[in-house]
């Protein structure tokens, strides 16, 4: 019922074919929520594929068994399904970058590297899937795969750098809180809020 009201409100907010900022943000939010719920299935597909790859690479099963051929087929189809399941996922990174609040130029650059790299990875992966599924010429598959891998690598570097920066900030905050608790304890002032935050 709330979705129907929200949709009606968005329709009412439309003026001369232009969607208002509020409606656009609402549509963007709904798309973001939908895409976020796919992460669990995405991880399950990834785990299934890697489990099959490990079993096949470990030579536990002889090549001549029917089960081995079926496992190879399963791994291949799950890989294709996994890529198809990520259609449109780059929108999450665009929304995350758009919704970020930056404290410094360094944070802006790291966020662009992190979200931009991961977003580009997911965007290019759509074309890798199209090539593997046969909808576009497979001659592009190798170059698209390279672009995708490099974009993912760059995104990981940015994400890891942001996490290290966050950890450094948390460490500094903790040291500040500890010194506040020490000062409050020596002066006899209550410091329950600071102790709770620690």
Q: What is the DSSP string of 78-116?
A: HHHHHHHHTTTTHHHHHHHHHT---SSHHHHHHHHHHHH
Q: Which domain holds residue 151?
A: 89-198
Residue 150 lies in a domain: yes
Burial class (CB in 10 A: 0-12, 13-18, 19+), 90: buried
pLDDT at 107: 86
Residue 113 lies in a domain: yes
| Number of domains composing the chain | 1
Residue 116 lies in a domain: yes
Contacts of 101 (CB under 8 A, 6+ apart): none
Residue 29 lies in a domain: no
Determine if the pTM surpasses 0.85: no
Residue 17 lies in a domain: no
Residue 151 lies in a domain: yes
pLDDT of 21 strictly over 60 = no
Residue 67 lies in a domain: no
Residue 4 lies in a domain: no
pLDDT in tens, 93-144: 888 888 888 888 888 898 899 999 999 999 999 998 888 888 888 888 889 9
SS3 15: strand
């Amino acid at each position: 019922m709330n979705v129907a009201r929200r949709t009606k409100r968005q329709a009412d907010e439309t003026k001369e074919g232009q969607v208002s900022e509020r409606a656009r943000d609402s549509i963007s939010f709904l798309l973001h929520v939908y895409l976020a719920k796919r992460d669990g299935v995405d991880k399950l597909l990834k785990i299934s594929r890697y489990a099959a790859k490990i079993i096949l690479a470990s030579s536990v099963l002889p090549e001549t068994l029917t089960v081995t051929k079926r496992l190879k087929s399963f791994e291949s189809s799950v890989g294709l399904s996994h890529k198809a399941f990520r259609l449109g996922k780059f929108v999450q990174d665009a929304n995350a970058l758009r919704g970020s609040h930056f404290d410094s130029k360094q944070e802006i650059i790291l966020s662009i590297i992190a979200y931009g790299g991961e977003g580009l990875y997911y965007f290019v992966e759509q074309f890798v899937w199209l090539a593997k599924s046969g909808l576009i010429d497979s001659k592009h598959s190798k170059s698209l795969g390279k672009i995708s891998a490099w974009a993912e690598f760059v995104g990981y570097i940015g994400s890891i750098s942001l996490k290290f920066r966050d950890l450094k900030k948390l460490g500094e905050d903790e040291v500040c809180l500890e010194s506040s608790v020490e000062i409050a304890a020596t002066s006899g002032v209550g410091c329950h809020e600071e102790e709770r935050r620690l």
